[in-house]
Structure 1
């Protein structure tokens, strides 16, 4: 199964009763294992979670800490990018050149990278005193 297929499949499990905007995400760990996540809304906005954060949490829970590839899919007119917070979360665990596929359920896709999504990212080098 491709990473995008994994994201497409898990998207159906998203909990989005308020916005009706279901998002599926999948990340591949360094081991090759695919971890999936969906957006989970909450009536107390903005207490929900993003699909990318869910996939990252699943990867960390499984004991991995490196993302080698990302896929995100939603039913929208153009490929949906991760929010700013998720861009930083992806950058925490992926190299700047890690491939990212953003897609729509109609088949449109945009291939990019973690570094292109978050140029000038904040990282450990900024914490010189640590």
Structure 2
């Protein structure tokens, strides 16, 4: 398998949601890699770490969304989640909002919509794919 940049999964995430038309609004939150690309590889510095990749409103429900892709054959390791994303998830949940990790298993080409509170409440450092069966992302599997 080639190097996992995450960009193909982010593109697929957008494609899946685009099928809902006006029922969804997906806003990309620019991050350091976006700024780096726009400045032709020159670091501009001062770009604050973002709490998530996306802000999504789906059928009237707004939430933060972080897209992750992994080549791990057995589980989704939480080490892939940055400190700013974990902090953003905690703050969003404390404010009464929702936050989801959309995880794309590149091994099986399956998508999971994992609530942040599940990740934040577990004492483990990962969740096995077999434990995540009920969190398969229905939109990705209907596509």
TM-score by length of structure 1 reads 0.38
Structure showing the higher helix proportion among its residues: 2
TM-score by length of structure 2 reads 0.36
Structure showing the higher strand proportion among its residues: 2
